[in-house]
């Protein structure tokens, strides 16, 4: 009993210590630069919505809270639809979306939009899958359910398991509009609820194919080269890679106080550096 | 003085009973009021009999009804023999000390959060199901039902054990005196007296299986179509509510989740009524 618990607790303890060390490091770093604008502030910022945004939001929040413990920032997911709805109804201060809010949404809620990054949406497969690139046509055939075996596009003789996102997903809307060209995604597709869950699902399924925000791609999944264009930051920036979108933070009416400072921070060199560090494309 | 205390205690208990019963009634009312627009136009009937294809303007929840029915029933059916065996072990077959140990373990297991089961399911069960049956993605009716069975088994077992333990000691001694063994004891003496608890346990487990959201959401794959076999992806009513809740407030998608809520309410009421019926003949017999 003792040995197993030691085995489990040692890494947890190590992680704990490490996170403390990181926190201290961040605090030390924070004493200079753009974070100074939060001096003397106190209060809560509630954020929800787009799941692509979460890593950047978390890092920004961590730095701000480390520099000023009187500020409390909460970050929830839910998807772009949730972000827009919740900020519109005053449930949160900032609602993130991975798509531009529609004119109706902007009018109904009096939204103000802040785009602080450019992002791409890329089809991903399991790293074990020998298929490394795909044509737009074949991608649409796969997701609409016409092609159901990997061997038809030069892979192994195995079924294709589709993964898509829920109704509220901005990532799904962008993929549906720009990669699928509004062609219907097969109803047999499995549905997952966040960019993170998509990555987990495809990383665990050798026959799976899904799509995630480019900022979320790491070595657990392989981003497919689409029509000969890799979804790199370079290609998204110069427009060669077509499935791209802005990452937005929305507020109800013009932001004030702490919320305004948070959004301002996202556009400072430090904020934009966080954006770049997480694989997204800064707007400044 | 004493009478007054007693009276107030009774009043408090009665109050809380009314309050919890009232909450159930209020929820039904809330669902009805919000679903009202659907009743008025008679759309509720078409909603529960058609498919889900929001891109084509169709918001039917038939696939989700099928999903909930398949996953919940399979989960409960799988957990009945498990719970029965576990309960028999705890209260009949195992030596006293082991019985007590297992009972404690099961009691503790009833409190494990669903999300833990979900993670175990995603990382261990789903890949296993995928490779073992060599079909689909492993996120399917079977995976969700298996994990659901594991989730409800402890609760069901505890109910069964309570039923088994109510057998009067003198009956058991009579079996021993007649030279009967443990199996005969269980089948002919303990079981007939424990029906009410067995059905009670199944009722509770069925309710929990229908109402569970997270396991289905994480393990069933959530494809909005009627599953043809246990290895296909399916979506439950609860998972559907969780997935669509996020959509626009004014949209027909959003309205459809009230129908889902109503159907869930109906489902669980129906389950309770049917199981109570089954139990009725035993009610007087074994007071």
The pLDDT tens digits of the residues spanning B70-117 come to 999 999 999 999 999 999 999 989 888 999 999 999 999 988 888 899
Strand spans (E) along chain A: 43-49, 71-78, 94-97, 111-125, 133-134, 161-165, 190-192, 208-213, 222-223, 225-226, 244-252, 281-282
Asked whether the beta carbons of residue A191 and residue B223 sit closer than 8 angstroms, the reply is yes
CA angle, residues B258, B262, B263, in degrees to nearest 5: 115
What would be the CATH architecture of the domain defined by A120-244? 3-Layer(aba) Sandwich (3.40)
Tens-place pLDDT, residues A179-207? 999 898 998 899 998 888 999 999 999 99
A35-118+247-282: CATH, from 3.30.365.10, 3.40.47.10, 3.90.1150.10, 3.40.190.10: 3.40.190.10
Indicate the SS3 state at residue A164: strand
How does residue B246 score in pLDDT terms, banded at 50, 70 and 90?
low
Asked whether the beta carbons of residue B233 and residue A159 sit closer than 8 angstroms, the reply is no
In B262-281, the residues whose Cβ lies within 8 Å of chain A are: none
Q: Two tokens at B176?
A: 């021993």
Q: Does A11 have pLDDT greater than 60?
A: no
Within-domain flag for B40: no
- Residues A198 and A159: their CA atoms lie apart, in Å, by 18
Confidence (pLDDT) at B89: 93
Within-domain flag for B42: no
Confidence (pLDDT) at B135: 83
Domain limits for position B180: 63-285
Q: Does A151 have pLDDT greater than 50?
A: yes
Asked whether the beta carbons of residue B135 and residue A189 sit closer than 8 angstroms, the reply is no
Tens-place pLDDT, residues B217-227? 999 999 988 99
Q: Does B248 have pLDDT greater than 70?
A: no
Asked whether the beta carbons of residue A190 and residue B222 sit closer than 8 angstroms, the reply is yes
Q: Does A6 have pLDDT greater than 50?
A: no
Tens-place pLDDT, residues A86-126? 899 889 999 999 889 999 999 999 999 999 999 999 999 99
- Residues B80 and A171: their CA atoms lie apart, in Å, by 42
Q: Does B131 have pLDDT greater than 80?
A: yes
Å between B232 CA and nearest CA of chain A? 9
Write the residue in A163, A167, A193 that is nearest to B247 by C-beta.
Answer: A167
Instruction: Assess A130–B contact: CB distance below 8 Å, yes or no.
Output: no
Within-domain flag for B187: yes
Tens-place pLDDT, residues B19-52? 999 998 998 888 888 777 777 777 778 888 888 8
How does residue B1 score in pLDDT terms, banded at 50, 70 and 90?
low
Asked whether the beta carbons of residue B243 and residue A167 sit closer than 8 angstroms, the reply is yes
Testing the interface with B: which of A82, A165, A167 to mutate, by most B Cβ within 10 A?
A167
- Residues B125 and B148: their CA atoms lie apart, in Å, by 12
Q: Do β-strands A94-97 and A43-49 pair in parallel, antiparallel, or remain unpaired?
A: parallel
Q: Two tokens at A177?
A: 């509009």
- Could you report the predicted ipTM of this complex, rounded to two decimals? 0.77
Question: Containing H/E element for B245?
Answer: none
Contacts of B240 (CB under 8 A, 6+ apart): B52, B61, B64, B224, B257, B260
CB count in 10 Å sphere of residue A27: 16
Q: Does residue B197 contact residue B166 with C-beta atoms inside 8 Å? A: yes
What is the DSSP code string of A240-273?
A: -S--EEEEEEEEESS--HHHHHHHHHHHSHHHHH
Confidence (pLDDT) at B5: 86
- Residues A214 and A171: their CA atoms lie apart, in Å, by 10
* Overall average pLDDT of the A228-238 stretch: 90
DSSP class of A224? P
Confidence (pLDDT) at A149: 93
Burial (0-12, 13-18, 19+ Cβ within 10 Å), B212? buried
Q: How many CB pairs under 8 A join A and B?
A: 71
DSSP class of B90? I
Q: Does residue A25 contact residue A51 with C-beta atoms inside 8 Å? A: no
Q: Domain limits of chain A?
A: 35-118+247-282, 120-244
Residue B222, domain CATH: 1.10.3720.10
Indicate the SS3 state at residue A73: strand
Confidence (pLDDT) at A170: 83
Write the residue in A89, A161, A201 that is nearest to B136 by C-beta.
Answer: A161
Asked whether the beta carbons of residue A191 and residue B243 sit closer than 8 angstroms, the reply is yes
Write the residue in B53, B221, B249 that is nearest to A190 by C-beta.
Answer: B221
DSSP class of B91? I
Confidence (pLDDT) at B37: 76
Within-domain flag for B258: yes
Å between B184 CA and nearest CA of chain A? 38
Within-domain flag for B152: yes
Tens-place pLDDT, residues A121-136? 999 999 999 999 999 9
């Amino acid at each position: 009993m003792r040995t197993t618990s030691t085995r489990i607790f040692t890494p947890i303890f190590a992680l704990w210590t490490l996170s403390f060390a990181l926190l201290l490091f961040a605090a030390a770093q924070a004493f200079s630069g753009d974070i100074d604008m939060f001096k003397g502030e106190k209060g809560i910022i509630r954020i929800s919505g787009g799941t692509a945004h979460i890593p950047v939001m978390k890092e920004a929040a961590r730095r701000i809270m480390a520099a000023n413990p009187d500020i409390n920032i909460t970050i929830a997911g839910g998807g772009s639809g949730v972000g827009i709805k919740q900020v519109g109804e005053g449930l949160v201060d900032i609602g993130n979306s991975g798509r531009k809010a529609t004119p109706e949404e902007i009018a109904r809620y009096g939204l103000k939009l802040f785009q602080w990054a450019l992002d791409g949406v890329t089809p991903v497969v399991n790293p074990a899958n020998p298929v490394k690139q795909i044509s737009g046509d074949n991608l649409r055939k796969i997701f609409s359910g016409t092609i159901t075996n990997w061997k038809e596009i030069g892979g192994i003789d195995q079924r294709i398991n589709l993964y898509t996102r829920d109704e509220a997903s901005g990532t799904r809307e962008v993929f549906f509009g720009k990669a699928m060209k509004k062609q219907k995604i097969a109803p047999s597709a499995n549905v997952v609820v966040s960019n993170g869950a998509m990555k987990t699902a495809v990383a665990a399924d050798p026959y799976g194919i899904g799509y995630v925000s480019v900022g979320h791609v790491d070595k657990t999944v392989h981003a497919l080269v689409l029509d000969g264009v890799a979804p790199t930051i370079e290609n998204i920036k110069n427009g060669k890679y077509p499935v791209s979108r802005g990452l937005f933070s929305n507020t109800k009416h013009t932001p004030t106080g702490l919320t305004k400072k948070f959004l301002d921070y996202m556009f400072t060199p430090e904020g934009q550096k966080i954006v770049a560090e997480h694989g997204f494309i800064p707007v400044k | 003085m004493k009478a007054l205390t007693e009276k107030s205690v009774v009043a408090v208990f009665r109050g809380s009973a009314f309050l919890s019963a009232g909450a159930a009634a209020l929820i039904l009312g809330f669902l009805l009021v919000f679903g009202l627009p659907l009743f008025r136009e008679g759309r509720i009937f078409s909603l529960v009999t058609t498919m889900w294809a929001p891109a084509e303007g169709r918001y039917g929840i038939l696939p989700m009804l099928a999903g909930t029915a398949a996953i919940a029933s399979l989960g409960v059916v799988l957990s009945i023999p498990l719970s029965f065996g576990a309960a028999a072990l705890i209260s009949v077959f195992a030596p006293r000390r082991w019985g007590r140990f297992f009972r404690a373990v099961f009691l503790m297991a009833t409190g494990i959060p669903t999300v833990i089961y979900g993670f175990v399911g995603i990382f261990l069960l789903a890949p296993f199901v995928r490779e073992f049956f060599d079909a689909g993605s492993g996120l399917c009716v079977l995976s969700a039902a298996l994990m659901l069975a594991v989730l409800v088994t402890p609760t069901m077992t505890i109910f069964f054990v309570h039923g088994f333990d109510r057998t009067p000691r003198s009956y058991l001694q009579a079996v021993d005196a007649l030279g009967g063994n443990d199996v005969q004891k269980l089948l002919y003496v303990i079981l007939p007296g424990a029906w009410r608890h067995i059905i009670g346990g199944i009722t509770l487990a069925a309710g929990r299986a229908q109402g569970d959201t997270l396991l289905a959401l994480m393990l069933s794959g959530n494809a909005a179509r009627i599953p043809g076999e246990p290895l296909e992806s399916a979506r439950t009513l609860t998972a559907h509510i969780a997935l669509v809740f996020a959509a626009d407030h004014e949209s027909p998608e959003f309205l459809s989740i009230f129908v889902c809520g109503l159907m869930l309410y109906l489902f669980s009421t129906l389950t309770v009524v049917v199981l109570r019926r089954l139990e009725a003949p035993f009610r007087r017999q074994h007071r």
